[in-house]
Structure 1
């Protein structure tokens, strides 16, 4: 009877970096082998010399290293175009995309036997789980289980603390912005999921540009949600005008659908940012609204 082959997992992987050609034969390239060098360019405007790092892929990840390939790699090692290579005893070709910006996730959890839903922002599912766990541990006292994590890629998260753009209401301060505990003081707000068509026109366009957006808004009613959405879009257009000096305006906002959204809390963005890997500075809402093409 033929014995089953041992199942390979990451637990069995042996991965290492080396410049010793004898150690890489019979292994697989774990990462692309790059030739790296610097090139100097002169900035035409300032005359300043700018150094840019350039890369060329010599050998792609996943290649099996036989004697011939080892000889080729050794040539670049000897010429010092390559310092070392990373190899593995397993052939791994797929890799997870590295997201640098934050994306909205819906987290479902049972806490003390009751179902709770949260909206938060994270770079990936693993980070979303960490944010949710941290938040629940700090804000609840009973045992819990995370039972669902869903990426809501097209959702823009808002709440009606945009009071300076909305008429002053009960719970607002003199500037029209809600006080820290204002949202807790009001019990008339709910979460809504709103789909809207936004028609925007820039000064150099003959025809307006229509874009579709999905929002999750915590507010009093659908009418107020539309005011909040309009205020948010106008603020983003204003930012774009100031940054790129491109005049554009909102022509129309049409609410296509609005319905109550099951949510217990939106985790503050400042809390979520504590788990963001600082590879690149991004603002979710600003990056996702392309007001003018």
Structure 2
């Protein structure tokens, strides 16, 4: 394997000149696009739908064979030009479904733990940065970022003023529960939430499940049993609404 270079040495450009393409790599997936008209059987309305076909994948080396194929689509007008690179970059970063993440930062010399919803490391950092810049004072840095599978966050209704805890504030609990849909259908989930004690945490979990009963496919007679309960170090639970704005904008930037 040849020695890899960093992205700072990458040169990309768009071209329709086959001579300039030769020996380069595709910088992005090459598609041909066209419109097809379909008639709606119910209304008789003609609907135009854009169709796409992958010609070559990102990172493909452009030798004579690939250039011949590209030339065919250039001559037919299906493509106008392509973006090429002097580096082979075939891997594509993807994001997953939103899950709970634990982000640890150090601000003004003190470590703080934040829990939030994100779909990848990038959004976890972006959400945390946006939140921390508004809630804390001083310089901060990221210490650790970790995804927590099969967890749910239940954030407090009220924000913590200036990011500091008050003495009479609820503790943060990590509660593992068993949820029974019926006698033969049970599953385990973990919840992170504010509560004064484990029983109050259980009540809050049941309230949350009732609100999200349809999404979680629960019937009205579901039961919740606490398997384990412990307090954890947590300075902030970032509510889903705050995180979701970042997730929406991240998805749009990927389109």
Match of 1:248 among 219, 229, 232: 219
Equivalent residues, number: 248
Q: Specify the alignment match of 2:180 in structure 1.
A: 199
The reply to whether residue 214 of structure 1 matches residue 210 of structure 2 is no
| Structure 2 counterparts to residues 131-170 of structure 1, below 5 A | 131-159=127-155, 161=157
| Structure 2 counterparts to residues 11-50 of structure 1, below 5 A | 11-50=8-47
**Structure 1 residues 51 and 194, CA gap change in structure 2 (3 angstroms):** farther
RMSD of equivalent CA atoms:
2.9
The reply to whether residue 89 of structure 1 matches residue 86 of structure 2 is yes
Q: Specify the alignment match of 1:289 in structure 2.
A: none
Alpha-carbon deviation of 1:274? 4.4
- Following TM superposition, where does structure 1 have runs of at least 4 consecutive aligned residues deviating by more than 4 angstroms? 179-182, 238-241
1:139-168 Cα offsets, whole Å, 9 max, x none, are 22233222111122422101464xxxxxxx
**Structure 1 residues 254 and 55, CA gap change in structure 2 (3 angstroms):** same
Query: Aligned partners of 2:137 and 2:250: how far apart in 1?
Result: 34
Q: Which runs of 5+ in 2 are unaligned?
A: none
**Structure 1 residues 267 and 160, CA gap change in structure 2 (3 angstroms):** closer
Q: Specify the alignment match of 1:56 in structure 2.
A: 53
Query: Aligned partners of 1:133 and 1:56: how far apart in 2?
Result: 39
**Structure 1 residues 280 and 7, CA gap change in structure 2 (3 angstroms):** closer
Conservation of the 8 A alpha-carbon contact between 1:28 and 1:90: yes
Q: Specify the alignment match of 1:229 in structure 2.
A: 205
Aligned residue for 2:122, secondary structure, equals: helix
TM-score relative to the length of structure 1: 0.73
Query: Aligned partners of 2:40 and 2:244: how far apart in 1?
Result: 36
Q: Specify the alignment match of 2:77 in structure 1.
A: 80
Q: Specify the alignment match of 1:171 in structure 2.
A: none
Q: Specify the alignment match of 1:265 in structure 2.
A: 236
Aligned residue for 1:198, secondary structure, equals: strand
Alpha-carbon deviation of 1:185? 7.7
